[in-house]
Amino acid sequence: MANTWTAAYLDVAVGLANKSMADLWNPTGSGRILKVYRIWCLNNYRAGAVGGGLNIYQIARITAKSVAGTPVTPTRHDTTLENWAATSCTTHYASTVTEGDVLRRFSNSSDELAIRAVTNIDNWSSLPTLSIQWDTGGYDGAILQPIVIRENTGIHIKFVSGTASVGTLTTVIQFTSE
């Protein structure tokens, strides 16, 4: 079974159009192939009323990462396997990247969550079951390819636009390195 990782980009501020909210980059010479199986993008905003809006995001390939943003360290599922630094791959948010092909668009709400609230899109956007934006790889064995990231490529989740540039997004990417 391949070395499996979870990278969590917690509470990244929404706001700038075309902001890279989470990236996964495989540099030249890593000797690794990364395979992305699942991506969750969650509205976990809890810090009071924010007047959020509906936002559009996209999952896209990237062909370069010219300026690395804030680093995130993925967690390996098995501590006996190699650590993240050994892979030479990198994960950041708010990087400057060159975007390639777009794989998927999705939307969510960035309005604040509320306890005991009427169930609505603001709260639905916080539920992992409903906020899994990419889920390819198949449950019953290997049917469809995951997103395969070879050397000198990567992927990112980009904030495209929104009706209110407030709130945050939590992105979780589940992938393997082989």
Chain contacts with other proteins (rule: CB under 8 A): 52-56, 61, 101-111, 118-122, 124, 129-136, 138-148, 150, 153, 161-164
For other proteins, the closer CB: 66 or 101: 101
Smallest gap, in angstroms, from Cβ of residue 95 to other proteins? 20
Nearest CA-CA partner of 93 in 35, 171, 176, 4: 171
2, amino acid identity: A
Smallest gap, in angstroms, from Cβ of residue 73 to other proteins? 26
Contact yes or no for 153/61 (Cβ under 8 A): yes
Smallest gap, in angstroms, from Cβ of residue 5 to other proteins? 18
For other proteins, the closer CB: 69 or 149: 149
Q: Is 60 helix (H, G, I), strand (E, B) or coil?
A: strand
As a whole number of angstroms, the distance between CA 66 and CA 86 comes to 21
Contact yes or no for 91/73 (Cβ under 8 A): yes
Smallest gap, in angstroms, from Cβ of residue 70 to other proteins? 26
Smallest gap, in angstroms, from Cβ of residue 177 to other proteins? 15
Smallest gap, in angstroms, from Cβ of residue 150 to other proteins? 6
In the Cβ-directed half-sphere of 138, how many Cα atoms lie within 13 Å?
6
For other proteins, the closer CB: 29 or 80: 29
For other proteins, the closer CB: 1 or 139: 139
Sign of the torsion formed by the C-alpha atoms of 2, 83, 7 and 35: negative
As a whole number of angstroms, the distance between CA 9 and CA 59 comes to 15
Distance from the first to the final alpha carbon of the chain: 10
For other proteins, the closer CB: 85 or 118: 118
For other proteins, the closer CB: 85 or 143: 143
